[in-house]
């Protein structure tokens, strides 16, 4: 099938590459000329494991192409996927300007029936706005062309996006049109062979499903962080508690890890946007507001621990930071807890020596050159001359470091671990002082 994807970010590029990989003829369009140039030259603008070979293979086969030409993009696909960003507006609501700009372009340029697919995470009611924006352009042109707007939210996880797209747990489609349903069934047929993963529903329910999923996951994290903070004050170990509650199948072990707060481009903005949607329809969401408030505080916990250790005097201290991306296996720094930590450290007069396996370029792009940030080529380099070590992201390569070397390199043998990666008793043996999240009395 002929498919157009608007937006070549984490979602658009993965969607385009994976659909092309199953044999579809895909054209990806982006307004970012630099991105499209890089993609045309075979460079992948983001770090996403396994994505590069899929893009390369399908570009070589001529099934995946890139353009900045919006008219060409609209002409190409029976399906027009909208996968552009929906960043938070000042009031927390989702900013729909990019989604609606694409909708207008489709209305301006289409000359046959289209199925317009909202893949971006958008508030309930957005499909109506997209439909109105397209219809308005068609009216200007005196055209009565037909089209359908479908909600098809994306559930991929950065860091495992290709696998998630290729083997989805579910494919949610919100539509009231039989014609569009048939087209979507055909597009996703290759991803649906093992068993039926498609769940059809009305458009508003599909739009809400995406927010409900992210809000539920964020709630689990904030809940665990709250219990971790309690455990710390009560002399209990949250890791024992986690295993204890996870053994109940009604709770389960998934996604109940305490830490230094959730970040990324989705949970923070989606929780806020859903709370705002609730507010706009006259409902105060006490739970969502609390989830957000707990997370805000949790992102400051690492700094509080550093500050507490140095009794508030951080001037001229140097902190080694391992892990900058908001989670492992991505270079995405949006809302990353490491940013909250580093910015607080700088404000208090401390210096940072940082290492991340993939997010160094992005960190450099965000913060530029500054005297109080040294980006180091290895995790060992980040330790040299530093006072203490703080871990913000649980990259695999941090799991079994050389603890003796860490103790030797630091002026104070202290690890503050925002991801509970180590066994406290093991670190005792290396004479390392270990502070983690929610682990016992000596925090």
Name the site residues for ligand NAD (rule: CB under 6 A).
6-12, 29-32, 35, 83-86, 98, 101-102, 120-121, 154, 156, 158, 265-266
Least distance CB 203 / ligand NAD (angstroms): 16
- 260 is known as an active-site residue: no
Least distance CB 165 / ligand NAD (angstroms): 10
Q: How far apart are CA 287 and CA 223, in angstroms?
A: 11
For ligand NAD, the closer CB: 168 or 413: 168
User: Which residue has the CB atom at the shortest distance from ligand NAD?
Assistant: 9
Least distance CB 317 / ligand NAD (angstroms): 35
For ligand NAD, the closer CB: 326 or 422: 326
Least distance CB 82 / ligand NAD (angstroms): 8
Asked if residues 293 and 363 have their Cβ atoms less than 8 Å apart, the reply is no
> Looking only at Cα atoms, what is the longest distance across the chain?
78
For ligand NAD, the closer CB: 6 or 262: 6
Tokens of residue 389, six digits: 């070590």
Least distance CB 149 / ligand NAD (angstroms): 16
Tokens of residue 138, six digits: 């068609």
Least distance CB 361 / ligand NAD (angstroms): 15
Tokens of residue 217, six digits: 């996951």
For ligand NAD, the closer CB: 54 or 376: 54
Asked if residues 89 and 119 have their Cβ atoms less than 8 Å apart, the reply is no
Asked if residues 277 and 93 have their Cβ atoms less than 8 Å apart, the reply is yes
For ligand NAD, the closer CB: 74 or 406: 74
Least distance CB 322 / ligand NAD (angstroms): 23
For ligand NAD, the closer CB: 344 or 393: 393
Least distance CB 97 / ligand NAD (angstroms): 8
For ligand NAD, the closer CB: 102 or 227: 102
For ligand NAD, the closer CB: 174 or 401: 174
- Pick the catalytic residue: 18, 28, 260, 266? 266
Catalytic residues: 266
């Amino acid at each position: 099938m002929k498919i157009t994807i608007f937006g070549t970010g984490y979602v658009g590029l993965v969607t385009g590459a994976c659909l092309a990989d199953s044999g579809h003829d895909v054209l990806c369009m982006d307004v970012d000329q630099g991105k499209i140039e890089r993609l045309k030259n075979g460079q992948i603008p983001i770090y996403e494991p396994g994505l590069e070979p899929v893009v390369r293979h399908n570009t070589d086969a001529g099934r995946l192409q890139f353009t900045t030409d919006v008219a060409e993009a609209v002409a190409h696909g029976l399906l027009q996927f909208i996968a552009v960003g929906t960043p938070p507006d000042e009031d927390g609501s989702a900013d729909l300007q990019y989604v609606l700009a694409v909708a207008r372009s489709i209305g301006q340029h289409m000359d046959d029936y289209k199925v317009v697919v909202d893949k971006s995470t958008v508030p309930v009611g957005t499909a109506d706005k997209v439909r109105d924006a397209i219809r308005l352009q068609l009216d200007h042109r005196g055209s009565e062309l037909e089209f359908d707007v479908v909600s098809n939210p994306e559930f991929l996880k950065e860091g495992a996006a290709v696998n998630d797209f290729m083997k989805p747990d579910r494919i949610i489609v919100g539509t009231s049109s039989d014609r569009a349903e048939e087209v979507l069934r055909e597009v996703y047929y290759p991803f649906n062979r093992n068993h039926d993963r498609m769940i059809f529903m009305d458009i508003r329910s599909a739009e809400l499903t995406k927010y409900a999923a992210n809000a539920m996951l964020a709630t689990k994290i904030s809940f665990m962080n709250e219990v971790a903070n309690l455990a710390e004050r009560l002399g209990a170990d949250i890791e024992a508690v986690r295993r204890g509650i996870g053994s109940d199948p009604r709770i389960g072990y998934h996604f109940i890890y305490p830490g230094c707060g959730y970040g990324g481009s989705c949970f923070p903005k989606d929780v806020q946007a859903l709370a705002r949607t609730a507010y706009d329809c006259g409902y105060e969401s006490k739970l969502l507001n609390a989830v957000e408030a707990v997370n805000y505080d949790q992102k400051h916990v690492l700094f509080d621990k550093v500050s507490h250790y140095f009794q508030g005097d951080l001037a001229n201290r140097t902190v080694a930071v391992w892990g900058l991306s908001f989670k492992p296996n991505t270079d995405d720094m949006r809302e990353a807890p490491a940013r909250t930590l580093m910015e607080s450290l700088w404000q208090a007069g401390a210096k940072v020596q940082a290492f991340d396996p993939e997010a160094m370029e992005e960190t450099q792009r965000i913060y530029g050159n500054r005297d109080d940030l040294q980006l180091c080529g290895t995790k060992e380099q980040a330790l040299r001359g530093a006072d203490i070590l703080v871990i913000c992201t649980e990259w695999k390569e941090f799991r079994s470091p050389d603890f003796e070397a860490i103790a030797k390199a630091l002026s104070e043998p202290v690890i503050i671990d925002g991801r509970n990666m180590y066994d406290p008793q093991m670190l005792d043996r290396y004479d390392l002082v270990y502070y983690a999240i929610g682990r016992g009395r000596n925090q």
